Copies of this chain bind each other. A is one copy, B any other.
Amino acid sequence: MSDEFCDCNITHKERIEAVRSKLPQEEILYDLAELFKVFGDTTRIKIISALLETELCVCDIAELLHMSPSSISHQLRVLRQARLVKPRKEGKVVFYSLDDDHIKHLFDQGLEHILEPRGSYHVSA
């Protein structure tokens, strides 16, 4: 066969096709990876974690994380574009808060994985 990407002889064609038919659309998986990528940065996770408590302005967050307002603003833009936070303008000040509560669920679900006791495979060996 010419349409092989792996020179192995042992691939289970039926199993592969069964899985392929059940996979979400390419675009969905791409967007999903993009979403997780946004969570996958220490600065942004800290911002999200802080906004889980209360809304904060850009300078509050900068002060909280000991970082420059500029870098925070850059990261808030990423979070905005991912629909994770929303701004509320009050004069010169912009307050940010979380955009919906899926975010808390995602965050907590991640925490559970982090904090759970190690499985047997990883303990031994």
A contacts, CB < 8 Å to B: 4-6, 8, 10-12, 15-16, 18-20, 22-24, 28-42, 44-46, 49-50, 53-54, 56-57, 59-60, 62-69, 83, 86, 93, 99-100, 102-103, 105-107, 109-116, 118-119, 121-122
**A62–B116 touching, CB < 8 Å:** no
**A109–B99 touching, CB < 8 Å:** no
**A54–B19 touching, CB < 8 Å:** yes
Contacts of A53 on B, CB cut-off 8 Å? 18-19, 22-23
**B50–A40 touching, CB < 8 Å:** no
17 new A-B contacts, CB < 8 A, other than A23-B50, A109-B109, are A4-B63, A5-B66, A5-B68, A10-B93, A11-B59, A11-B63, A12-B60, A15-B60, A16-B63, A29-B45, A29-B46, A31-B114, A34-B40, A37-B41, A40-B40, A99-B119, A102-B112
Contacts of A39 on B, CB cut-off 8 Å? 32-33, 36, 39-40
Closest to A104 in B: B109
Q: How far is the CA of A53 from the CA of B65 in the complex (A)?
A: 41
Contacts of A102 on B, CB cut-off 8 Å? 109, 112-113, 116
